[in-house]
């Protein structure tokens, strides 16, 4: 870098530029918060959905699965699993409930988490709500 | 090394490298589970192995950053560390808390761990990379506060340089952004939105400030280039990092329910995120070319140039590959993300920590540089690990392309598990590359035990004598 461009100028770009974009980011965050209710359908977040999210977290489901594309890539995407399973909470519950404790020879298998009926119902309800978030049409198809 | 208290860094670096070995071992376990699905099941399910793998990475990098700060800050400030004792106490607190957390992951089912550690009081667990129990998170905050206070007091009472200022902003930013890990809204969309304030604003934000200042420090020391020049570069690099990186957060807001203008903002700004990394590469090579001294520590110079290049490739190029919204629509959450994540973390953060270790560790052992033999071994470690990581990235990229094609892009998309079987050959090759990486890490660690102080002194004297004759001629 040449001599006409001084260290003081570089410093001002750093502080000024960073501050400017922090403020823009905060402004956009404020706006996002304002319009989000139309996209996340928060009116449908029932106590069951809240419990479902907690069960999701406390069993570290995101350690294998992705949810809206975020998480691990070892097991299928679950943001749209409700739709993939034909809009059936029962199918989701049955899948989780009947996992063999010792796994499947040579294959990946979901652990048996021994969830209560209430927890199973809640997780299914949480995944149903998640599938209804407006994700700009992601994933591209039913396979997630 | 000019100040006795800089030596506390040694503890931190030793712990960092020990945890690094653990991280790689668990990486190999996971890699095998990708192809032999029931490997170690149900004793260590994949999610547990992954948690250990990623959490060890975060913790060893934090140990590395803290060690780096303890080494650099007294020298930059030209004064002893405010309290070496506090640094040692916090070291043990962090190590014990970290070890207990990892043991918790391995020995107790996660749901039980959540129950035992009071996740009901404030649910924060079970989110990617932030899986730590509440008490561990509080422990991290206490350690971070004590650490920032300790180095901050040192900076305040001594010389203030651009390097120490940028490093302090980075470290304070790291501590502040971590506080968002305590915020876990019941609404998944908002949860994800603010989760990225920890994750993205760390690795594509404040951590880049830390990375830049570590690199600048080592470059000043090994090249002898004028501080004014180096500091101007540093300002421009971190300016570009934050100018592109803050709104670049938007590239995580494409498909999680946030409004659609983020697709434009995220695409445009994150497409510019490679710029600061490219500048780092230019920076490292330029400074080494303009060097005004021959430093006997060739290995440290190699790490400095290597981290520039690999950060640019991993974070810059591999990030850019899938950051534009129309492309990310198909690649989001596939093995392409994993490919990028591996090379970016290795190239930017693992390598810069090994760079500062390479420069400072011999000094803390009373040497200018290690013996030739030790440096040759260290460079073998560098090349083995780096080339292995390039192959890990290439194989994961190939796997990702297959996945995107078969599961996302084709007219007749196939189910996830079926596609995984078709990617198996690449997962096997990745695992082999991973074994080579472990070998490289072994050679690297072995290099610390090669050569005596006398060897080191003799070899360093040779380099310095040669440089002197050149100058006189």
Model confidence pLDDT, tens digit, residues B298-336: 999 999 999 999 999 999 999 999 999 999 999 999 999
Going by pLDDT thresholds of 50, 70 and 90, the confidence category of residue B218 is very high
Q: Which residues contact B436 (CB under 8 A, 6 or more apart)?
A: B384, B387, B388, B391
- Residue range B148-173: average pLDDT? 98
* Number of C-beta neighbours around residue B402 at 10 A: 18
Predicted-assembly ipTM surpassing the 0.85 threshold: yes
Pairing status of strand A66-67 against strand A70-71: antiparallel
pLDDT of residue B1: 84
Optimal mutation site among A64, A108, A112, interface B, most CBs of chain B within 10 A: A108
Going by pLDDT thresholds of 50, 70 and 90, the confidence category of residue A4 is confident
pLDDT of residue A1: 53
- Residue A123 CA to its chain's centroid (Å): 13
Provide, rounded to the nearest whole percent, the portion of chain A with pLDDT above 70: 99
Tokens for A126? 């949480």
Q: Which residues of B touch A113 (CB under 8 A)?
A: 111
CA distance B446 to B224: 29
Residues B248-275 pLDDT 10s: 999 999 999 999 999 999 999 999 999 9
Residues A61-75 pLDDT 10s: 999 999 999 999 999
Question: Nearest by CB to A109, which of B37, B193, B416?
Answer: B37
pLDDT of residue B467: 85
Report the residue of chain A nearest B234, measured CA to CA.
A10
Residues B276-304 pLDDT 10s: 999 999 999 999 999 999 999 999 999 99
Question: Nearest by CB to B187, which of A5, A45, A64?
Answer: A45
pLDDT of residue A2: 61
* Distance (Å) from the alpha carbon of B408 to chain A's nearest alpha carbon: 6
Indicate if the pLDDT at residue B190 is higher than 70.
yes
Q: Which residues of B242-273 are buried (b: 16+ CB within 10 A; e: fewer)?
A: bbbbbbbbbbbbbbbbbbeebbebbbbbbbbb
Whether A18 and B246 lie within 8 Å, measured CB to CB: yes
Whether B233 and A64 lie within 8 Å, measured CB to CB: no
Whether A60 and B126 lie within 8 Å, measured CB to CB: yes
> Does the beta carbon of A111 lie under 8 angstroms from any beta carbon of chain B?
yes
Whether A39 and B258 lie within 8 Å, measured CB to CB: yes
> Does the beta carbon of A57 lie under 8 angstroms from any beta carbon of chain B?
yes
> Does the beta carbon of A67 lie under 8 angstroms from any beta carbon of chain B?
yes
* Distance (Å) from the alpha carbon of A15 to chain B's nearest alpha carbon: 7
Question: Nearest by CB to B47, which of A18, A42, A63?
Answer: A63
Which residues are registered as beta bridge partners of A67?
A70
Residue B5 backbone dihedrals phi, psi, to 5 degrees: -70, -15
Whether B246 and A107 lie within 8 Å, measured CB to CB: no
Whether A143 and B231 lie within 8 Å, measured CB to CB: no
Specify the residue for token string 């994750």. Answer: B199
Using CB atoms within 10 Å of the CB of residue B391, give its burial: 0 to 12 exposed, 13 to 18 middle, 19+ buried.
middle
Specify the residue for token string 């520039």. Answer: B308
Q: Which residues contact B206 (CB under 8 A, 6 or more apart)?
A: B169, B170, B171, B173, B174, B177
Residue A71 backbone dihedrals phi, psi, to 5 degrees: 135, -145
Q: Which residues of B411-437 are buried (b: 16+ CB within 10 A; e: fewer)?
A: eebbebeebbeebeebbbbbbebbebb
Indicate if the pLDDT at residue B387 is higher than 60.
yes
CA distance B376 to B387: 16
Residues B30-64 pLDDT 10s: 999 999 999 999 999 999 999 999 999 999 999 99
Whether B50 and A25 lie within 8 Å, measured CB to CB: no
Whether B188 and A105 lie within 8 Å, measured CB to CB: no
Whether B38 and A59 lie within 8 Å, measured CB to CB: no
> Does the beta carbon of A4 lie under 8 angstroms from any beta carbon of chain B?
no
Q: Which residues of B touch A17 (CB under 8 A)?
A: 239, 242-243
pLDDT of residue B468: 83
Mean per-residue pLDDT over chain A, rounded: 97
Optimal mutation site among B256, B323, B420, interface A, most CBs of chain A within 10 A: B256
* Distance (Å) from the alpha carbon of B46 to chain A's nearest alpha carbon: 7
Indicate if the pLDDT at residue B225 is higher than 90.
yes
Record the pTM: 0.97
Provide, rounded to the nearest whole percent, the portion of chain B with pLDDT above 90: 98
- Residue range B109-126: average pLDDT? 97
Whether B126 and A28 lie within 8 Å, measured CB to CB: no
CA distance B274 to A142: 33
Q: Which residues of A touch B332 (CB under 8 A)?
A: 69, 138-139
CA distance B366 to B35: 47
Using CB atoms within 10 Å of the CB of residue B452, give its burial: 0 to 12 exposed, 13 to 18 middle, 19+ buried.
exposed
Report cis status (omega within 30 of 0) of the bond before B367. no
Whether B128 and A70 lie within 8 Å, measured CB to CB: yes
């Amino acid at each position: 870098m040449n001599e006409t461009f001084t260290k003081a100028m570089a410093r001002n770009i750093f502080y000024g530029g960073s501050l400017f974009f922090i403020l823009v980011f905060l402004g956009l965050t404020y706006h996002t918060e304002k319009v989000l209710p139309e996209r996340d359908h928060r009116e449908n977040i029932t106590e069951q959905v809240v419990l479902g999210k907690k069960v999701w977290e406390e069993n570290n489901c995101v350690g294998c699965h992705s949810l809206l594309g975020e998480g691990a890539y070892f097991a299928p995407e679950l943001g749209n699993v409700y739709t993939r399973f034909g809009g059936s909470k029962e199918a989701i519950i049955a899948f989780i409930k009947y996992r063999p404790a010792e796994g499947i020879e040579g294959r990946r298998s979901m652990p048996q988490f021994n969830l209560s009926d209430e927890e199973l119902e809640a997780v299914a309800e949480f995944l149903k709500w998640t599938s209804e978030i407006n994700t700009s049409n992601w994933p591209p198809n039913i396979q997630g | 090394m000019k100040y006795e208290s800089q030596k506390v860094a040694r503890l931190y670096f030793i712990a960092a490298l020990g945890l690094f070995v653990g991280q790689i071992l668990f990486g190999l376990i996971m890699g095998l589970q990708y192809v032999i699905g029931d490997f170690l099941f149900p004793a260590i399910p994949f999610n547990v192995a992954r948690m250990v793998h990623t959490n060890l990475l975060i913790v060893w990098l934090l140990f590395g950053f803290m060690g780096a700060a303890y080494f650099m800050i007294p020298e930059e400030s030209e004064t002893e560390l405010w309290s070496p004792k506090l640094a040692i106490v916090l070291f043990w607190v962090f190590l014990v808390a970290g070890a207990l957390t990892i043991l918790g992951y391995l020995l107790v089912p996660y749901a039980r761990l959540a129950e035992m550690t009071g996740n009901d009081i404030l649910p924060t667990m079970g989110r990617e990379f932030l899986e730590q129990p509440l008490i561990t998170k509080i422990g991290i905050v206490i350690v971070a506060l004590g650490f920032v206070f300790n180095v901050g007091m040192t900076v305040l009472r001594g010389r203030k340089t651009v390097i120490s200022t940028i490093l302090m902003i980075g470290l304070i930013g790291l501590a502040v952004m971590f506080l968002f890990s305590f915020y876990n809204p019941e609404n998944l969309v908002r949860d994800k939105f603010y989760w990225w304030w920890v994750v993205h604003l760390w690795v594509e934000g404040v951590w880049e400030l830390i990375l830049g200042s570590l690199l600048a420090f080592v470059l000043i020391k090994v090249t002898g280039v004028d501080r004014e020049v180096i500091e101007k570069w540093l300002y421009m690099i971190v300016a570009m990092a934050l100018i592109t990186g803050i709104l670049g957060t938007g590239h995580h807001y494409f498909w999680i329910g946030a409004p659609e203008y983020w697709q434009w903002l995220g695409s445009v700004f994150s497409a510019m995120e490679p710029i600061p990394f490219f500048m780092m590469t230019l920076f490292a090579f330029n400074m080494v070319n303009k060097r005004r001294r021959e430093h006997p520590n060739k290995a440290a110079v190699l790490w400095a140039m290597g981290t520039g290049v690999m950060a640019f490739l991993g974070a810059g190029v591999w990030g850019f590959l899938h950051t534009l919204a129309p492309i990310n629509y198909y690649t989001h959450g596939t093995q392409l993300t994993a490919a990028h994540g591996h090379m970016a973390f290795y190239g930017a953060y693992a390598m810069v920590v090994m760079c500062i270790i390479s420069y400072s560790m011999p000094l803390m052992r009373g040497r200018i540089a290690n013996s030739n033999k030790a440096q040759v071994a260290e460079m073998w470690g560098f090349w083995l690990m780096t080339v292995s990581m390039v192959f890990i990235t290439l194989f994961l990229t190939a796997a990702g392309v297959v996945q995107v094609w078969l599961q996302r892009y084709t007219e007749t998309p196939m189910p996830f598990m079926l596609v995984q079987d078709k990617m198996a050959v690449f997962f096997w090759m990745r695992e082999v590359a991973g074994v080579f990486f472990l070998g490289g890490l072994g050679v690297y660690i072995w290099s610390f035990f090669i050569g005596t102080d006398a060897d080191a002194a003799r070899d360093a004297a040779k380099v310095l004598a040669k440089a002197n004759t050149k100058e006189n001629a």
